[in-house]
Structure 1
Amino acid sequence: MAIVVGARSGTPAPKLSKALTAMARDTVEAGGKVFVIRLDGSPAVVFDDDLNSTASNGSAFERDVNRHMESIARAFREKATAAQPEADVLAAIGIAARSVGEGGNVVVLDSALATKGDLNFRQDGMLSADPAEVAESLKRNDALPGLAGRRVLFEGLGNTVEPQPPLGERGVKNLGLIWAQVAKAAGAACTFVNATPSSRTALGGTPSVTVVPVPPPVPSIKACGDTKLTEAHSVGFVRGEAEFREPGAARKTLGLLAAVLAGSGKRVEVIGTTSSEGDRLYNLRLSRARAEKVRDTLVELGIPGDRVTARGVGTDWPDHVPDLTAGGAVIPAAAARNRKVIVRLPACPA
């Protein structure tokens, strides 16, 4: 069993729950080994001692196990606090996986909001990136940890404390989906995600960790100019389709937009854009279908149909960012930024 400990800035102070303590004890009593991994910008094993019991009876063995459990708890308290800036979660999981071997348990006590390494949520758009695309990108770059046969548990995933702002329901959900998809692609036997916080206490005196910007769940809705509905908001789409990823949440957000539009009497243009995978005709069709989905929903919400038009432009849009590698592979964070629907009203007064 390997415990990755995120005792760092922006993540609640980790605690060994009764359930995890029992899991560690069961491992030790069965002749296994418990590792403690410090999670920071340069993760490292900080405890890997063997039990080394020569007890000849049950009572003596229990005393040896108790002393060993005290050593594990001491390492957790005294050696696992971050020593280097940032947080390379993927590297820490890789160290844990190599430590336990196939059939072992990897436990991650951290928000899992990585700020360094091959999976870095400081990248604009990464927090709302498509989970399957993230896993595919890591696999393509040979950056997946070796999790074949390991069981992976994320405890406290997505929970943050100052200075890191809360991720919100959408952010926590997608973060969990990303890590679950990464673990699956890396061969994990099973993955469990528990977003319930074990603590709300912030740690002081630890090295700096860059704050990850968190997009608002609802876009800034204006009565003039452009309102951008992106993958970071509740009006996102199923991959490759013109169906809302979260229909109820999308309708709620579009209801707020419809309320602003209702009294204006202004004409509205809905414009769909896409990322760059797929050919030009496919992207034009997909972006138009998504724009039409938003238009139709606005009409259902009471906006006169003759006031709303829809068109798709694919990748032909001024703020489109490069989202393919030199080899033509998708860059997940950039692709997420390019997938959006713009609701355009007449320009705002200067």
Structure 2
Amino acid sequence: MRTAVRLMAVLLALLVGSTGCGGGDDGKATSAPSTTTSTTSGTNGGGQACSPAKPPRALVLVVGIHQNQPAPGVPDALSCLLQGAVENGTKLAVVAVDGSPVLVPMPSHFEIDTDNEARRKDDIKRALKTVVGSVRGARADSDGSDLFAGMKIAADFVRVNGAADGQIVVIDSGLSDTGVIDMTRSGMLAVDPAELGDSIAAELDGLHLKGIQVTLVGFGYTRPPQEPLTAGQSEAVSTLWTKLLTTAGATVVPLPAPRTGNSPTTSFTTRPVKVVKPPPPPPPPPCAKTTVVYDDASPVGFHPKSNEFRDRPAALEVLREVAGWLLGGPYRSVVVTGTTAGADTVARRVARSKGRAETVKKELVLLQVDPSMISTRGVGTDFPEYVDDQLPGGGLDPVLAVKNRTVRLTLIETRPDCPKTGG
């Protein structure tokens, strides 16, 4: 039962492709599998013929069938890739991704008439409908999403069946909640992909993706109970997986195809990634000061090894609140302190943390705050709240590093009538 059911899950997703010859994408998936339709046919919907292209010897579609993301849609983007596959004997398989991913092989051969064009088109349509029809009732049979394990299964299939020109298409949100890549860990949306890659180097090497093309479809698109990601967070998810799989040897093509519609109907749960929007900084009491800390997972976070905000519009939302308070009365000021993780030399940590504090100051000045009201400093890892972010075997814990990379805004109000010991 498990294999048959997964087959359906898989191929409903199978059609959210990465390569095609154009055509409209209905962008929707229905909650009732029996009403799901496909525009995928042997000639890209029955009209325009696909341009010639050498099909891969092996093609695997890694499909998320778990909670928290849209159910698989059926755009035309995959039609030419699938048409070439069924016509030319490509070894096809689907990996259905929930908490325990499973491989679902496709028929090894489709009878395609090569002598009569009308029959050829009909045979291609029939073959693709067979593929799609076998997955329309698919359901997850375990909690969670282990996308990394699904990738491992797909890569193994490709290596056995023609890794020299194999392809993997991944149709998923990218928000796995278990396994090697657990996106529910606090800070994962802001982790440095290179640092994470270093910490799981052995696991990435074990994927054996060298020479394989991987297309990522619609990463970052969510459905309740998963809260929507911001544009910057969606980009971070796609960038993270792109860089990790590239490190593993793959040629990676992100395809930010919109994925909408209802989530799959399932009683199995997937833990959501927490999307926390920090409250505006509280004003300090009169004649006192208040320090607000924004770590690298907050809107006031930075690109890896950069002094540029990861999502400048989101950072400005926070900094406008700070600027509004500073401009709201006399005798107000702010101290911006930058801190870093335990990577690199002490001198470079201090320089990086100072540079990020200066970035915050620059934005506050653009928001009309007098530069004399803002002071900056960089302390690197020399601050009381620093958490040891070194792994036992050496190297950096990339998630703990997110917590140590902060900007700290100390809001101060010192009126002439304040006690001498205040502020």
TM-score (norm: length of structure 1): 0.88
Kindly provide the CA deviation profile for residues 94-138 of structure 1, in whole angstroms up to 9, marking residues without a partner as x.
Answer: 211222332122111211111111111011100111222223333
- Indicate the SS of the match to 1:136: helix
Kindly provide the CA deviation profile for residues 170-221 of structure 1, in whole angstroms up to 9, marking residues without a partner as x.
Answer: 1101111111111211222242222411x321222231101110133x6633
RMSD (Å) for aligned C-alpha atoms: 2.6
Q: Does 5-14 or 146-155 show the bigger shift?
A: 146-155
Instruction: Give 1:206's match in structure 2, choosing from 267, 286, 289.
Output: 267
Q: How does 1:1-350 map to 2 (within 5 A)?
A: 1-51=59-109, 53=111, 58=116, 65-79=124-138, 81-101=139-159, 102=163, 103-142=165-204, 145-197=207-259, 199-216=260-277, 220-224=280-284, 225-245=290-310, 250-251=315-316, 253-264=318-329, 265-346=331-412
**Is the 8 Å Cα contact of residues 219 and 229 (structure 1) preserved in structure 2?**
no
Kindly provide the CA deviation profile for residues 235-281 of structure 1, in whole angstroms up to 9, marking residues without a partner as x.
Answer: 33343343444556545643342122211432322111101112333
**Is the 8 Å Cα contact of residues 238 and 254 (structure 2) preserved in structure 1?**
no
CA distance in 1, matches of 2:377, 2:334: 11
**Is the 8 Å Cα contact of residues 39 and 92 (structure 1) preserved in structure 2?**
yes
- Indicate the SS of the match to 1:37: strand
**One-letter code aligned to 2:217:** E
CA distance in 2, matches of 1:42, 1:286: 42
The verdict on how the C-alpha distance between 1:39 and 1:261 changes in structure 2, with shifts beyond 3 A counting, is: same
- Indicate the SS of the match to 1:255: helix
**One-letter code aligned to 1:119:** I
**One-letter code aligned to 2:300:** V
Following superposition, the deviation at residue 10 of structure 1 comes to 0.6
Q: What are the ranges of 5 or more consecutive residues in structure 2 without an aligned counterpart? A: 1-58, 285-289, 414-423
CA distance in 1, matches of 2:233, 2:111: 46
CA distance in 2, matches of 1:118, 1:49: 31
**One-letter code aligned to 2:171:** L
**One-letter code aligned to 2:274:** P
**Is the 8 Å Cα contact of residues 307 and 352 (structure 2) preserved in structure 1?**
yes
- Indicate the SS of the match to 1:267: strand
The aligned length equals 344
The verdict on how the C-alpha distance between 1:191 and 1:335 changes in structure 2, with shifts beyond 3 A counting, is: same
Q: Does 227-236 or 238-247 show the bigger shift?
A: 238-247
**Is the 8 Å Cα contact of residues 128 and 336 (structure 1) preserved in structure 2?**
yes
**One-letter code aligned to 2:183:** F
Q: Does 173-182 or 70-79 show the bigger shift?
A: 70-79
**One-letter code aligned to 1:240:** K
The verdict on how the C-alpha distance between 1:54 and 1:26 changes in structure 2, with shifts beyond 3 A counting, is: closer
- Indicate the SS of the match to 2:144: coil
CA distance in 2, matches of 1:170, 1:241: 16
The verdict on how the C-alpha distance between 1:206 and 1:24 changes in structure 2, with shifts beyond 3 A counting, is: farther
Following superposition, the deviation at residue 289 of structure 1 comes to 2.8
**One-letter code aligned to 1:297:** E
**One-letter code aligned to 2:73:** K
The verdict on how the C-alpha distance between 1:138 and 1:193 changes in structure 2, with shifts beyond 3 A counting, is: farther
CA distance in 2, matches of 1:260, 1:13: 45
CA distance in 2, matches of 1:146, 1:191: 17
- Indicate the SS of the match to 1:78: coil
Following superposition, the deviation at residue 337 of structure 1 comes to 2.1
**Is the 8 Å Cα contact of residues 357 and 378 (structure 2) preserved in structure 1?**
yes
- Indicate the SS of the match to 2:392: coil
Kindly provide the CA deviation profile for residues 315-339 of structure 1, in whole angstroms up to 9, marking residues without a partner as x.
Answer: 2334433322113312222212221
Q: Does 234-243 or 155-164 show the bigger shift?
A: 234-243
**Is the 8 Å Cα contact of residues 346 and 380 (structure 2) preserved in structure 1?**
yes
TM-score (norm: length of structure 2): 0.73
- Indicate the SS of the match to 2:393: coil
